Structure formats: structure tokens, C-alpha cells
């Protein structure tokens, strides 16, 4: 005769009810965890669909207020602005990057003028949207030159800060750029402008749709960024990169891409305990969106599951093109 029940430990007990699953959930996802990347373009009342990113559009500056206001209402705390710079403004020296009246600076001013402190604004510091060769830095004798690029990045960071940018996000992966940018910002009185460093940014094949969106794919051509972005094979190196950026003054760090590098997100958070973000990049978005269009995946379920995975790995927040869509779903579920 068997007495009692076997097994005595039944992990399924707490999975039985919705209330108990919520009660013991180890990770939480809310709209406050999301940063919404927005592509901006020249013109008026323009919405330009991006073919490789179904559901994502470039917006002209006059349409930003309404779009960002909805994000704020949904509880999204910050946006990241990316310019689709006209080709006729792109040069080998990327001088448009530090034009104080360039597309992204005008977009920053508009958002901050209209919405003020209701939303944080991030802007990338890198030269690829402005260079005719599509590289993130200045090219000297066929090589992306590190130290010469730093001066350009500092000038770019200053005009963005002057426009009202809250967070400067160096995405170029030049050595020493965080320290140089921090020094330049402080010297100009922008001591309260934060830096979110793309600290572990990999030379990934997942960036293709983004390059379509900002118009740098044609400029880069068959070139690559392997001489400065990280080798996807490396993990320990990511910790060295993060350590350097924090030592140079980064307030927050980012891992990019996101889901293929969740191990790096986890290691960074555990090693440093610093505010750690991940970028669910364009290729990750496109995979989900395209599969959902074909009926192969449940778009909403996979979207939310993928974002929860970032939180489980230790990310404090996620840059994602799903931000507004996800925030709506979380609100409707009473989880925002």
C-alpha cells in the first residue's frame, strides 16, 4: 500500500492558476522597460513604409508629436531618434553629423519643445547616417581611423546636446570614444546629459533592415564593419569593452544585437550591476514580423515572449520597434 502522494514536490502546483503564475513570476515586463526607436525623414506629413520592416515607417518631423505623445500615454519613458539623411548631404567626411540644423537635431528640438520632460530622447553618435561610404568613422587610407574619428564624434555629440538630447548613445565602437565624449560634454556645460554606450556591439548580420531604413545600405555596399565592431564569437571581450566604457564615464551600457546575445546581457549585468540595456535590432523584428505575416507565428505572443526573455536575462530595458505595440498589449492585459 502506498501512503501519501508521490512526488511530494510538484512544481506544477504553482502553474495551475493564472493568479498563482503571476504571484511567483520571477520577471516583470512593463511599458517602463521599453525604448522606442523612431526613424525620421525630411518632408511634411510623410509616412514612408520600410519594406524590410513590416509595420515600421519613417516619419517626417511634423508627425512626431502625435506618435511620441501616444508612446508617453502608454507609459514608454524614452525614444531613440534615427535620421534618414538625404544622399546629397552625405560626404566622405560626414560633416552633416555636426550640422546643428541637421535632421536629427531638428527632430530632437521638436520633441523636446512639444513634450518636454514627459519623454527622454536618445540619439546615436556615429557617422554612418552621414558618410558617403557608410562607415561609422572617418576613413583614412582605406581604414576606419580611430583617433581622427573621435574629434568628429565629439562635435556630433555637442550639437545633439545643444538641441536638447537627454542621452547621447555612442554606437560607433571606436576605442576611447566614451571618455572623449564625456569630457567634451562636460566642457560645454552638459554635465547632466547621460551617456548610454553601445558597449558590446557586434558585427552582426542582423542589421540589414536598419541600414535600409536610414539609407546607409547603399553607401556601405559590400563593405563591412568588422575592424571595429565585435566578433560574434567573443564573449569575454564584451566584458572588457563594458569595463572600459564604464570607467570612461558611461551611465548605462547596451548589448547589440539582443536575443542572439542574451548570454552577453546576462554576463554584463552579473559582472557590473550597471544599468544594462539590449537592442532588439531590425533583423530580430523583421524575423518575427515576416513569420507572423505568413501565419507561421503568433505575432503578439512571440513579441511579448521575446521581450520577456530580455528581462529574464537581466536587461533593465529594451530598445525595440515593438515598443508601442507591446505597450498597448500590456495595457490591455492590465500589466503596464
Catalytic residue among 90, 112, 201, 269: 201
User: How large is the average pLDDT for residues 70-82?
Assistant: 97
Tell me whether residue 201 is one of the annotated catalytic residues: yes
Which entry of 112, 256, 269, 329 is annotated as an active-site residue?
256
Secondary-structure class of domain 28-332 per CATH:
alpha beta
The SS3 of residue 176 is: coil
Q: Where are the domains of the chain?
A: 28-332
Neighbouring-strand partners of residue 144: 139
pLDDT at 4: 65
pLDDT for res 7: 87
Write the DSSP assignment of 10-44 as a string of letters: -GGGGGSSHHHHHHT-S----GGGEEEEEEEESSS
> What pLDDT digit, counting tens, does each position of 179-226 carry?
999 999 999 999 999 999 999 999 999 999 998 898 777 778 888 999
- The answer to whether 241 is a known ligand-binding residue is yes
Categorize the per-residue pLDDT at 3 as very low, low, confident or very high, splitting at 50, 70 and 90: low
Longest dimension (CA), the chain: 86
- Alpha-carbon gap, residue 148 to 74, rounded angstroms: 42
> Helix (H, G, I), strand (E, B), or coil: what is residue 186?
helix
pLDDT digit string, tens, across residues 119-171: 999 999 999 999 999 999 999 999 999 999 999 999 999 999 999 999 999 99
276-280 and 317-320 as β-strands: parallel, antiparallel, unpaired? parallel
Residue 165, C-beta contacts closer than 8 angstroms, at least 6 positions apart: 108, 121, 122, 123, 193
How many residues does this entry show for the chain?
336
pTM of the model: 0.94
Amino acid at each position: 500500500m502506498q501512503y501519501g502522494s508521490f512526488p511530494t514536490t510538484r512544481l506544477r502546483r504553482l502553474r495551475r492558476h493564472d493568479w498563482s503564475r503571476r504571484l511567483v513570476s520571477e520577471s516583470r515586463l512593463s511599458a517602463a522597460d521599453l525604448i522606442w526607436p523612431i526613424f525620421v525623414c525630411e518632408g511634411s506629413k510623410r509616412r514612408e513604409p520600410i519594406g524590410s520592416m513590416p509595420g515600421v515607417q519613417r516619419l517626417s518631423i511634423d508627425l512626431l508629436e502625435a506618435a511620441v505623445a501616444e508612446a508617453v500615454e502608454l507609459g514608454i519613458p524614452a525614444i531613440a531618434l534615427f535620421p534618414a539623411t538625404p544622399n546629397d548631404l552625405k560626404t566622405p567626411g560626414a560633416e552633416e553629423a555636426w550640422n546643428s540644423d541637421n535632421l536629427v537635431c531638428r527632430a530632437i528640438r521638436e520633441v523636446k519643445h512639444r513634450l518636454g520632460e514627459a519623454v527622454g530622447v536618445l540619439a546615436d553618435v556615429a557617422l554612418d547616417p552621414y558618410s558617403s561610404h557608410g562607415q561609422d568613422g572617418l576613413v583614412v587610407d582605406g581604414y576606419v581611423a580611430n583617433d581622427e574619428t573621435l574629434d568628429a564624434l565629439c562635435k556630433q555629440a555637442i550639437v545633439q546636446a545643444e538641441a536638447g538630447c537627454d542621452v547621447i548613445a555612442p554606437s560607433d565602437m571606436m576605442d576611447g570614444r566614451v571618455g572623449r565624449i564625456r569630457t567634451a560634454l562636460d566642457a560645454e556645460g552638459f554635465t547632466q546629459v547621460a551617456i548610454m554606450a553601445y558597449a558590446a556591439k557586434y558585427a552582426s548580420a542582423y542589421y540589414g533592415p536598419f541600414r535600409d531604413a536610414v539609407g546607409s545600405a547603399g553607401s556601405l555596399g559590400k563593405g563591412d564593419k568588422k575592424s571595429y565592431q565585435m566578433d560574434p564569437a567573443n564573449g569575454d571581450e564584451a566584458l572588457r569593452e563594458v569595463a572600459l566604457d564604464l570607467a570612461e564615464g558611461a551611465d548605462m551600457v547596451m548589448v547589440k544585437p539582443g536575443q542572439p546575445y542574451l548570454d552577453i546581457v546576462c554576463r554584463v549585468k552579473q559582472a557590473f550591476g550597471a544599468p544594462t540595456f539590449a537592442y532588439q535590432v531590425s533583423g530580430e523584428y523583421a524575423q518575427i514580423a515576416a513569420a507572423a505575416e505568413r501565419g507561421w507565428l503568433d505575432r503578439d505572443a512571440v513579441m511579448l515572449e521575446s521581450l520577456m526573455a530580455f528581462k529574464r536575462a537581466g536587461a533593465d530595458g529594451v530598445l525595440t520597434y515593438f515598443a508601442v505595440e507591446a505597450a498597448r498589449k500590456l495595457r490591455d492585459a492590465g500589466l503596464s
